[in-house]
Amino acid sequence: MPNLSRRTMLLRAGLATGGAGAAAALAACPAHATPSATNPQLPSGPVSGDHPIGKAGGGNPWRPILPFHGAHQTAVLGDPLPEATIVSFDLLVSNKAELTGLLRTLTEHVRALIGGGVPTPAGIAGTDGSGILGPSAPRHALEAILAFGPGVFTEKFGLADAKPRRLRPMDTFPNDQLDPAWCGGDLLLTLQGYERDVVTNALRDVCRATRGGMQIRWKQDGFTSSPKPAGHPRNLLGFKDGIAGPDTGNAAQVGELVWAGAGEPSWAAGGTYYVMRRIRMLVEFWDRVSTSEQERMFGRRKDSGAPLTGGGEESLPNYSNDPNGNAIPLDSHIRVANPRTPETANSQFLRRGYSYDAGVDAVGNLDMGLMFGGFNADLDRQFVAVQKRLVDEPLVDYITPVGGSYFFAPPGVRDTTDFYGSALLA
Amino acid sequence: MLSRGSGLLGLSAVTLFAVTGCGSGATPPAPPSAAHSTAATADAGAGALPQVSASRSACGTGWTRAQAGLVQLDVHNTDINAAEVYLANAAGKVYAEVDPLGPAASAVLTASLPQGTYHLICSVNDADPVDGPTVRVTGPAPGGTGVLPVTSAQLAPIVIGYQHWVGGRLKVMQANARTLNTDLRRGDRAAARADLVTADHTWGTLGGAYEAFGDTGEAIDGNAYPWPQGVHDPHWTGLLRLEYGLWHGQSLASLTKYGNQLTKDLNTLETTLSSTEFDPLSVVLRSHEITEGSLNQTLTGHNDYGAHDELTEVRGQLAGSAELLRRLKPLVAPRYPGYAAVVKQLAKTRADVAAQTSWQVTTPDQPPSTGHELVDGDVAELTELLSPIPAMLEPRVF
Ligand code: HEM
């Protein structure tokens, strides 16, 4: 069945990547996420609402909170939680000592916020925190991911030589319509939790503690819906999302596809390239498109999330049985993004995005979409390669990247005395 | 609309309370922090807390001991009058307060206490404060730090001096308005614009944020938002109305009436200032409110009607904050370990403002310029550092 792009109306002879022969072999990595716990789980805090905290895996947003301390920022590996805020900051600090102080403060506050409990009362010596979590904040109901933008690696901080080798301002891709107000930033902080108020309180606390050191450049709240009716949560185009990708329970895969190391400055080992793109969805347009056309664009069923070659949402798409794309079109999103060939296996990366809903545009259309997040061991080998393959895919008429930036999430905060970026600043 | 009330007391004089032997020289308290208590044992909830009464006859009954760290008491006002309840140590430093606590009401008093001896103070309205029994707090947890409270009597001379200074600034403001009026009548737009910017600076030093000068202050420097017809509303007057006209091609002849009104309103303010006294609490609140105004009204561009003189206004507002801080220093410095940081941040902010050469007003589709972000961050940090001062210096009854 031919797949017409609304953009060109030209039949395509076939895509450059993922030709019939090349698609025959399956990718080296089994490509569905069945994350097993890599760390002992901390007890979860009291959370209101109808959602008991269940097991990790399968995209369950009501999974246990991952530990804060460790060799990696382990929150990277967890499926997206129900609520998040994604905040890009510009640094105002002017030298290495001030940057170190800022990151220490940030670490201390994030650690304390995750710990929860009764905030230390200010008495009459100051003013108290936001109070939106009541007298005692939920314990272990929050995760944080901190990442550095290219602006950290400058002469001002004596860090020009320490830059992760792939880090740079975000590339502009052919289908982008970037708004400068939604691009860039020196630090990215993703705060995620079960409940909006926990995330909001954390952001207010962190900002308050770091006022003169950094200023918010842009901020987007995001959310993950609970599964409808089961399996992975759906994005705002109605499709189950986050199904395929590296197995976070498989240390070898995570080592190859998520944690940076080889070729990087030594401090960066165990960190990861964090791509964040704000991708607007033209949902009104999308809702005027038939379900079958939508399914052909993705290569999966809308109701079940199953690949169009059959099975359930966790089944692998079967490209060897479908060399001409009669079931899963050759230019469909999943087939182009991951042709499952040996050559493209190491371009897979960990997708960790959040839906966003942000008001209305100039013609009365809803401004909503996906805060597309991705973690990569090697930015160019993975995200950039996949994004280039996806240029002009049929879906581009319904999605528009409007902002974002490249960041590098440093290795984890090891213990109660460590802080974000300590190895970099040592 | 007054959020925190005008800075002017009615015609009443400042009430002076007897100083109750609280010397100065307090050890500095911890800076404000929303960090979470690691020593916290129980989650807050009135259930398991000691039930403590607060009244003239039974102040502190029910509280006998505590471990250092987080201490929570369920305090009941058993009196027939409203009360203020303080938790203080032997040296008189206050670690927590419930203010007010109505008759028959109860509230949880939360404090972070290092080891030592403490007592409650029940200050029931219209009566002398009563001290409760001494309670020994033991244990290794570090706890927070207390602050020696301040009375109205201690604040009075500072408030009077500050009011005098404001009066002097008002005279400068009146002179600025006269010059502006002259240039409006002469038909010299360039000169009138320069006069307006000068007046903006002077007004900034007066610290008029958050309706410090009530309705008269609004008539002098209110923006067009409250008026039904916005910038076209005939009732809108003052500096910003003049700015709008001067930068939107309105004839100078049509603006003279606003110039005359400005002079009238400044004279009204002068009369008010000479016949009423500043309320000490309002003056203390001003210590962070002036720069709150810089952040929320000036730097946001809400009050920009064409002159783009945000930085000039902020310079004035910073000068006003500095003056107030200088006058409050004898009370602030011994109580606030962050005082040196405030002074440093104030200097940094003024230097960064002065160093801006190509100021860009932020537009919706652009990220703020680097210079804007720096100044915004500076003023925000300064305001944060100033914010404990009202909590510490709020006049308390002892
Ligand atoms: C608004 C934008 C996007 C939407 C709505 C979207 C949606 C989806 C959906 C529904 C799937 C199938 C379910 C799954 O496996 O998770 C999928 C898979 C995938 N997407 Fe996207 N996506 C978007 C943008 C991107 C971008 C920008 C990239 C990379 C540059 C990307 C890379 C992938 C990859 C690698 C897969 C998995 C393919 C596989 O391994 O089978 N997507 N996406």
Q: Homologous superfamily of B40-138 in CATH?
A: Cupredoxins -  blue copper proteins (2.60.40.420)
Instruction: List the single residue in A with minimal CA-CA distance to B28.
Output: A125
Tell me, what's the pLDDT at A213? 98
Which of A351, A376, A392, A393 for mutating ligand 1's site (highest number of atoms within 8 Å of CB)?
A351
B132-154: per-residue pLDDT in tens? Answer: 999 999 999 999 989 999 999 99
Does residue A186 sit at the B interface (CB-CB below 8 Å)? no
Is B391 close to A124, i.e. CB distance below 8 A?
yes
Is the per-residue pLDDT at B165 higher than 50?
A: yes
Is the separation of the CB atoms in B203 and B269 below 8 Å? Answer: no
If you take atom 29 of ligand 1, which residue's CA is the nearest one?
A: A387
Q: Which pLDDT belongs to residue B77?
A: 96
Task: Select from A236, A372, A379 the residue to mutate for testing ligand 1; criterion: most ligand atoms less than 8 Å from CB.
Answer: A372
The mean pLDDT of B233-262, rounded to a whole number, is: 98
Q: Is the separation of the CB atoms in B293 and B210 below 8 Å?
A: yes
The mean pLDDT value of chain B amounts to 88
Q: Is residue A364 less than 8 Å (CB to CB) from chain B?
A: no
pLDDT average, residue stretch B243-256: 98
Q: What are phi and psi of A187, to 5 degrees?
A: -135, 140
The protein residue whose alpha carbon is closest to atom 26 in ligand 1 is A387
Pocket-forming residues, ligand 1, beta carbon under 6 Å: A 31, 235, 237, 239-244, 279, 281, 298, 300, 333-334, 337-338, 351, 369-370, 372, 383, 386-387, 390, 399
| pLDDT tens per residue, range B333-360 | 999 999 999 999 999 999 999 999 988 8
Q: Which one has a higher pLDDT value, B130 or A41? A: B130
Express each pLDDT in A183-213 by its tens digit.
Answer: 999 999 999 999 999 999 999 999 999 999 9
Q: Give the best residue of B38, B41, B43 to mutate against chain A (max A CB count within 10 A).
A: B43
Mean pLDDT on B249-253: 98
Q: How confident is the model at residue B3 (pLDDT cuts 50, 70, 90)?
A: very low
pLDDT of residue A225: 96
What integer best gives the mean pLDDT of chain A? 90
- Best residue among A334, A355, A382 to mutate for probing ligand 1, ranked by most atoms within 8 Å of CB: A334
What is the structure's pLDDT at A49?
54
Q: Which residues contact A307 (CB under 8 A, 6 or more apart)?
A: A299, A300, A301, A315, A316, A317, A318, A328, A334
Q: What is the mean pLDDT of residues A49-66?
A: 89
Distance A381 CA to ligand 1 centre (A): 17
Q: Is the pLDDT of residue A41 over 70?
A: no
CB spacing of B96 vs A124 below 8 angstroms: yes
Give the per-residue pLDDT at A50. Answer: 63
Provide the pLDDT for residue B363. Answer: 78
Report residue A17's pLDDT band, with 50, 70 and 90 as the boundaries. very low
Of the candidates B284, B303, B281, the residue with the CA atom closest to the CA atom of residue B294? B303
- Of all residues in chain B, the percent with pLDDT exceeding 70 is 88
The pLDDT value given to residue B126: 87
CA of A318 to the centre of ligand 1 (A): 17
Structure confidence at residue B364 as a pLDDT band (50, 70, 90): confident
Per-residue pLDDT at A1 exceeds 70: no
Domain range summary for chain B, segments of one domain joined by +: 40-138, 152-393
* Segment A254-312, tens digit of pLDDT: 999 999 999 999 999 999 999 999 999 999 999 999 999 999 999 999 999 999 999 99
A120, A140, A361, A405: best mutation site toward chain B, by most B Cβ within 10 Å? A120
* Confidence at residue A272, expressed as pLDDT on a 0 to 100 scale: 98
- C-beta atoms of A125 and B70 within 8 A: no
Q: Does A42 touch chain B (CB under 8 A)?
A: no
pLDDT in tens, A319-376: 999 999 999 999 999 999 999 999 999 999 999 999 999 999 999 999 999 999 999 9
Quick one: pLDDT band at residue B8, thresholds 50, 70, 90?
Answer: low
- B-chain CB neighbours of A130 within 8 Å are 34
* Residue, of A25 and A203, whose pLDDT is higher: A203
How many pairs of residues across A and B have Cβ atoms under 8 Å apart? Answer: 152
Q: Does residue B12 have a pLDDT over 90?
A: no
- Å between A267 CA and nearest CA of chain B: 29
In this complex, do A205 and B147 lie within 8 Å of one another by their Cβ atoms?
A: no
Distance A194 CA to ligand 1 centre (A): 24
Cβ contact (<8 Å) for A127 and B45?
no
The model's confidence at residue B367, banded by pLDDT at 50, 70 and 90, is confident
Decide if B40-138 and B152-393 have a common fold: no
Cα end-to-end distance, chain B, whole Å: 32
SS3 letters for chain B?
CCCCCCCECCCCCCCCCCCCCCCCCCCCCCCCCCCECCCCCCCCCCCCCCEEEECCCCCCCCCCEEECEEEEEEEEECCCCCEEEEEEECCCCEEEEEEEECCCCEEEEEEEECCEEEEEEEEECCCCCEECCCEEEECCCCCCCCECCECHHHHHHHHHHHHHHHHHHHHHHHHHHHHHHHHHHHCCHHHHHHHHHHHHHHHHHCCCHHHCCHHHHHHHHCCCCCCCCHHHCCCCCCHHHHHHHHHCCCCHHHHHHHHHHHHHHHHHHHHHHHHCCECHHHHHHHHHHHHHHHHHHHCCCCCCCCCCCHHHHHHHHHHHHHHHHHHHHHHHCCCCCCHHHHHHHHHHHHHHHHCCCCCCCCCCCCCCCHHHHHHHHHHHHHHHHHCHHHHHHCECCC
Q: What is the pLDDT of residues B169-215, one digit of tens each?
A: 999 999 999 999 999 999 999 999 999 999 999 999 998 777 789 99
Q: Could you tell me the CA-to-CA distances from B211 to A102, B235, B363 in Å, in that order? A: 35, 18, 27
**Residue from the list B108, B145, B373 with its beta carbon closest to the beta carbon of A215:** B373
Quick one: closest CA in A to B349, which residue?
A212
CATH class of B152-393: mainly alpha
CB–CB contact A123 B381 (8 Å):
no
Judging contacts by C-beta atoms under 8 Å, the chain B residues touching residue A127 are: 32, 387-388, 391
Ligand 1 atom with minimal separation from the A387 CA: 30
Nearest CA owner, ligand 1 atom 35: A337
The model's pLDDT over A71-129, given as tens digits with 9 standing for 90+, comes to 999 999 999 999 999 999 999 999 999 999 999 999 999 999 999 999 999 999 999 99
pLDDT at A387 over 70: yes
Banded model confidence at residue A44, pLDDT cuts 50, 70, 90: very low
pLDDT, position A191: 98
Domain ranges of chain A: 14-425
**Taking CA atoms, what residue in A is nearest to B142?**
A120
Whether the per-residue pLDDT at A7 is higher than 60: the answer is no
**Reported confidence tier of residue B104, pLDDT bands at 50, 70, 90:** very high
Q: At residue B284, does pLDDT exceed 70?
A: yes
Residue B34 with chain A: CB contacts under 8 Å: 109, 119-120, 128-130, 205, 208-209
Residue A36, pLDDT above cutoff 70: no
